[in-house]
Structure 1
Amino acid sequence: MAALRRVARGGLAGVTGAAVGALAQFLLVVVVTRAYPVEVAGAFFTSIALALMVAGVAKLDAGNGLVFFIARAETYGYHGVSGYVRAALVPVAVVATATGLLLWPVLGVLALVPPAIAVADVLLAACRGFGSMRPTVLLDGVLLPLSQLALVAAAAMAGLSGASLPLAWALPYLPVVALAALALRGRTPRTPYLPGTARDLWRHTAPRSAAGAIQAVFQRLDIVIVAALGGPVQAAVYTAATRFKVVGQLAGQGLAQAAQPRLVKALADGDLSRVRELYQVTTMWLVLATWPIWLGYAVLAPWLLRVFGPGYASAVPVALVLAATMMAATGCGMVDVVLTAAGHTTASLLNLTAAVTCTLALDLALIPSHGALGAAIGWAGGVLVKNALPLWQLHHRYGLRPFGRHSLAALRPRTWAAA
């Protein structure tokens, strides 16, 4: 129960940060769609989607690998753990910087974003590995999106052209990196570098590096494809209608970041009953936190979409597909997190590959004739594949299910009070 309470506290903090971040990102989209023509808004959304997709590839998913090793090292007094931090940070910084330089002709100032995102991700992941969610919540969940909103809004209010938006959006990443480094510095014990540290880290992380790259592509590819096949107007409409999906993604991410170290330790100890409890309780928390949002969005979409302007009212079918898909996805729980915590990184890679393949096939078939709605259907197909495959694998290998007798623990007042 103590571990569950710690996850509850960390998860609640993560979800709170996710709520702040989601609101800030939603308002940023409102500001851009209201202040600039739909073509300019679509071009801006496409460019930041491409920058985030590149950054996601450059991260090499080293952060999750670092959490895995730091959480396990707790048993040994964190002996050699600073070596794991260096082994993760140096390759990521090099790859992200090289990628940014190569893409400068395409992305311009947004080429600064991949190195900053990748380094900050590793630093904040290391903090979570030590059991601290606060830096992730405050820096990535609150400071970054609020700063981006403030600078983009300031550019719009000053009457600056759309060309100024990428710089306003990118600048907040720099202080986030600096503050994340300071947050980790006080938590990492200085220990001697152990032979084989880098080899062990990257042998475990290599399949996840590929999976992380595919996941990054999966999250942002739809906007890029809509822009390529349907034009910037359809990209703007699709981005506006699907902006609410960040609520579910960030809520799940916040809860997963709190639960992942506990899952890794429980699986390392062979404590399957504790894994089952964590999985079922966190699934119920996800459902309780997000299903009311999706139901409300489905009902209110015709009115909510007017916030973006008169050109976005046609996106109601996209909103309905989004709501139904996210309810199905959250009902599966943190399936991929549990699967990778158990060490099945290759299976996770194959699952993501299947999901992206499904999305690409549906996008290419549907976007030319159905525009934003075709992209929504393609994304939905990929999400369902991405969740259904690990759901079956967890049940087949460990007998785990997202709902069961532990689901009721999520409804107990004392559990929430402990949070």
Structure 2
Amino acid sequence: MATVIVRRGLAGLSGAVFGALAQFSLVVVVTRAYPAAEAGAFFTATALALMAAGIAKLDAGNGLIYFIARAKTYHYRGISGYLRAALVPCVVVAGGAAAVLYPRLGPLAGLLPVMVTADVLLAATRGFGALRPTVLLDGVLLPAGQLLLVGGVALAGCAAWWLPPAWGAAYVPVLLLAAAGLRGRVPRTPYLPGTGRDLWRHTGPRSLAGAIQAVFQRVDIVIVAALAGPAQAAVYTAATRFRVVGQLANQGLAQAVQAGLVRALADGQRERAGELYQAATVWLVLLTWPVWLAYACLAPWVLRVFGPSYGSAAPVALVLAGTMMVATACGMVDVVLTAAGHTGASLANLLAAIGCTVLLDLALIPSHGALGAVAGWSGGVIVKNLLPLWQLHRRYGLHPFGRHTLAALRVRNRVAGW
């Protein structure tokens, strides 16, 4: 089991590493090619688009993973109906969001349905146990396409308002290829009565949680732009860009083990669920802590890559690194909690986290700018991880570290040739 986790986890992490490097490079290109105010306006627009897409997804992707993984025993009977039941509401909500946000986002708003549909289809492939489409399309093709398109706009000397639609256009090939890859996996079966009701009964509470999670991940950039101006938003985005390393690493491991967690907890195999959780946690720590320690030590020099004025944001990087080390030590607690079916508890945790973030942001950003924003984000991240950690301990006796940690480390040694 540990060997399978490592193999699939490394596949997910390879895409995560490439995606993180591509996103970091994109920020460097924009901050070097455009004034801080214009760069900040671009980062604010993309953050707003990702927030809107995260809300419009309604967490349907995780709902599909849950039902597809459970339906494997019945040869995926009725899964095509679940796919339709998931996609239609998401596309409708994304279309409404595009209409509302068009005055603010311009052509990028029209790509919101594309962004949402691509994400839901990729999630469905993971429900079938296929991680490769997500790694190649979301982890490699999408960030590479965004870097090339945005870099092309900057190299051509185009006005900054071309940046957001160039960034969003990279989702079009991802959608087309994800649909083509899923087509051969979904069996054509009759629509079963109650399919939509079952899907949204499970996903409904998580839809709100998914929306809050999308807001939580990027609301700080929008608040910084609103309270301290787009130039401070650019500084904050540059200094916190490395947090995508932790987010993508966690995402890569979660994609590798989520379907297995759902099946293990549905079958009452608590020991197997604990093995998956602990193996994923130790790999997350081993692969990300060196990055955070290096970033904390080298931040004053690394940040100057974005431009001479960005080096002063080193305190922001220190808070970021310490917070991410605490978060990764907790493991993918929210994924385990939702895999166990506790979507309501996950929603309450996210509400507490975003409430903490917004209150701290409003109190600290006007006087401390980017440093106040990272402090608010840090408080929310700690709440978001410690609450589900306590809930998993109380309900299932699950812990991020334990005897399965040693087994995962032995697999690491064999992989490394030790």
TM-score after normalising by structure 2: 0.98
Identify the residue that residue 292 of structure 2 maps to in structure 1. 294
Give a deviation string over 1:337-367, Cα, whole Å, max 9, x none.
0000000000000000000000011000000
1:412 is paired with a residue whose SS is: helix
Whether the 8 Å contact between 2:58 and 2:206 is mirrored in structure 1 is yes
Identify the residue that residue 125 of structure 2 maps to in structure 1. 127
1:193 is paired with a residue whose SS is: coil
Identify the residue that residue 71 of structure 1 maps to in structure 2. 69
Identity of aligned residues (%): 72
Identify the residue that residue 271 of structure 1 maps to in structure 2. 269
Whether the 8 Å contact between 2:254 and 2:332 is mirrored in structure 1 is yes
Query: Which amino acid letter does the alignment assign opposite residue 240 of structure 1?
Result: A
Give a deviation string over 1:280-313, Cα, whole Å, max 9, x none.
1110000001000000000000110010001101
Q: 2:186 aligns with which of 185, 188, 192?
A: 188
**Quick one: distance in 1 between partners of 2:71 and 2:142?**
30
Identify the residue that residue 175 of structure 2 maps to in structure 1. 177
Whether the 8 Å contact between 1:100 and 1:112 is mirrored in structure 2 is yes
Query: Which amino acid letter does the alignment assign opposite residue 115 of structure 2?
Result: I
Whether the 8 Å contact between 1:5 and 1:415 is mirrored in structure 2 is no
Give a deviation string over 1:218-244, Cα, whole Å, max 9, x none.
001000000000101110000000000
Identify the residue that residue 36 of structure 2 maps to in structure 1. 38
1:270 is paired with a residue whose SS is: coil
**Quick one: distance in 2 between partners of 1:113 and 1:226?**
25
Correspondence list, 1:388-399, <5 A: 388-399=386-397
Q: 1:368 aligns with which of 350, 366, 370?
A: 366
Report the CA distance between 1:186 and its aligned residue.
Answer: 1.1
Correspondence list, 1:217-296, <5 A: 217-296=215-294
Identify the residue that residue 386 of structure 1 maps to in structure 2. 384
**Quick one: distance in 2 between partners of 1:289 and 1:332?**
14
Report the CA distance between 1:414 and its aligned residue.
Answer: 6.7
Whether the 8 Å contact between 2:5 and 2:279 is mirrored in structure 1 is no
**Quick one: distance in 2 between partners of 1:8 and 1:191?**
34
Q: 1:13 to 1:196 in 2, by over 3 A?
A: same
Whether the 8 Å contact between 1:248 and 1:326 is mirrored in structure 2 is yes
Identify the residue that residue 314 of structure 1 maps to in structure 2. 312
Query: Which amino acid letter does the alignment assign opposite residue 43 of structure 1?
Result: A
Whether the 8 Å contact between 2:23 and 2:143 is mirrored in structure 1 is yes
**Quick one: distance in 1 between partners of 2:398 and 2:284?**
17
1:404 partnered with 2:402: yes
**Structure 1 residue runs without a partner (length 5+):** none
Report the CA distance between 1:79 and its aligned residue.
Answer: 1.2
1:333 partnered with 2:331: yes
Query: Which amino acid letter does the alignment assign opposite residue 329 of structure 1?
Result: A
2:371 is paired with a residue whose SS is: helix
Identify the residue that residue 56 of structure 1 maps to in structure 2. 54
Whether the 8 Å contact between 1:284 and 1:410 is mirrored in structure 2 is yes
Q: 2:5 aligns with which of 1, 4, 7?
A: 7
Q: 1:107 to 1:414 in 2, by over 3 A?
A: closer
Moved over 4 A (4+): none
Q: 1:414 to 1:45 in 2, by over 3 A?
A: closer
Identify the residue that residue 79 of structure 2 maps to in structure 1. 81
Identify the residue that residue 98 of structure 1 maps to in structure 2. 96
Report the CA distance between 1:80 and its aligned residue.
Answer: 1.1
Count of residues in Structure 1 that have an aligned counterpart in Structure 2: 417
TM-score after normalising by structure 1: 0.98
Whether the 8 Å contact between 1:362 and 1:378 is mirrored in structure 2 is yes
Query: Which amino acid letter does the alignment assign opposite residue 282 of structure 1?
Result: A
**Quick one: distance in 2 between partners of 1:344 and 1:14?**
25
Whether the 8 Å contact between 1:112 and 1:170 is mirrored in structure 2 is no
Report the CA distance between 1:7 and its aligned residue.
Answer: 2.9
Give a deviation string over 1:305-326, Cα, whole Å, max 9, x none.
0100011011000000000000
1:153 partnered with 2:126: no
Q: 1:216 aligns with which of 204, 214, 217?
A: 214
Q: 1:416 to 1:216 in 2, by over 3 A?
A: farther
**Quick one: distance in 2 between partners of 1:66 and 1:119?**
13
Report the CA distance between 1:84 and its aligned residue.
Answer: 0.8
Query: Which amino acid letter does the alignment assign opposite residue 314 of structure 1?
Result: S
Query: Which amino acid letter does the alignment assign opposite residue 204 of structure 2?
Result: A
Report the CA distance between 1:5 and its aligned residue.
Answer: 3.1
Q: 1:112 to 1:11 in 2, by over 3 A?
A: farther
Query: Which amino acid letter does the alignment assign opposite residue 202 of structure 2?
Result: H
Identify the residue that residue 138 of structure 1 maps to in structure 2. 136
Q: 1:197 aligns with which of 173, 195, 199?
A: 195
Give a deviation string over 1:62-89, Cα, whole Å, max 9, x none.
0000000000001111111111111111
Report the CA distance between 1:168 and its aligned residue.
Answer: 1.3
Report the CA distance between 1:415 and its aligned residue.
Answer: 7.8
Identify the residue that residue 167 of structure 1 maps to in structure 2. 165
Give a deviation string over 1:106-153, Cα, whole Å, max 9, x none.
210110232112101110011000000011111111001001101111
Query: Which amino acid letter does the alignment assign opposite residue 312 of structure 1?
Result: Y
**Quick one: distance in 1 between partners of 2:394 and 2:368?**
38
Query: Which amino acid letter does the alignment assign opposite residue 366 of structure 2?
Result: P
Query: Which amino acid letter does the alignment assign opposite residue 363 of structure 1?
Result: D
**Quick one: distance in 1 between partners of 2:372 and 2:330?**
24
Q: 1:415 to 1:9 in 2, by over 3 A?
A: farther
Whether the 8 Å contact between 1:55 and 1:113 is mirrored in structure 2 is no
**Quick one: distance in 2 between partners of 1:412 and 1:365?**
47
**Quick one: distance in 1 between partners of 2:161 and 2:358?**
30
**Quick one: distance in 2 between partners of 1:205 and 1:7?**
26
Whether the 8 Å contact between 2:316 and 2:371 is mirrored in structure 1 is yes
**Quick one: distance in 2 between partners of 1:344 and 1:416?**
36
Report the CA distance between 1:34 and its aligned residue.
Answer: 0.5
